[in-house]
Amino acid sequence: MPALDRASFDDSRWPLLHLWFPGTLPSHGQEECLDTFAGYLGRGERFFLLVDLSRIGLVPIEQRWRQVEWLEQHELALRERLVGTAIILVSPIVRLSLSAILFFKPLPVPLATFPHLAAAEAWAAERLEEAGLTQADRG
């Protein structure tokens, strides 16, 4: 069972990286998540990020500002390595939090939000195909 204070990364279908949040993370969980994601950027490979925020609640303002700061610090790597980002969103409150972050620091790659995983995965597959990347077949 995944820990409730940390995000889970699944790279088993690389170059699709699935990031799942069990709920709103404490500050230490957010920092761990950002560090892990920076490690994926540091690989130097292009990939697509699928983020599941369906279980997130209100994101504290400090964490939103930290996210903006992190996006600024990693903008070049994001632009060079990230093919796109699909975000699963179900909460209007979380949509508002995400909008606030992206208002101050828009992602330098295509981004779309979806109400469920199937639609997000379909869009991710299209972006990966357009980029000439194929997913590992480990099914």
**pLDDT tens profile 7-50:** 999 999 999 999 999 998 999 999 999 999 999 999 999 999 99
Q: Is residue 139 in a domain?
A: no
Q: Which residues pair with 25 in a beta bridge?
A: none
Q: Is residue 87 in a domain?
A: yes
Residues spanned by the domain of 20: 8-126
Q: Is residue 59 in a domain?
A: yes
CATH number at residue 70: 3.30.750.24
Q: Is residue 40 in a domain?
A: yes
For the chain, what is the domain count?
A: 1
Q: Is residue 134 in a domain?
A: no
For the chain, the maximum distance between any two Cα atoms, rounded to a whole number of angstroms, is 40
Q: Is residue 64 in a domain?
A: yes
DSSP secondary structure letters along 24-89: SPPHHHHHHHHHHHHHHHHT---EEEEEE-TT--PPPHHHHHHHHHHHHHTHHHHHHHEEEEEEE-
Q: Is the pLDDT of residue 52 over 70?
A: yes
pTM of the model: 0.90
Q: Is 119 helix (H, G, I), strand (E, B) or coil?
A: helix
Mean of per-residue pLDDT scores for the chain: 92
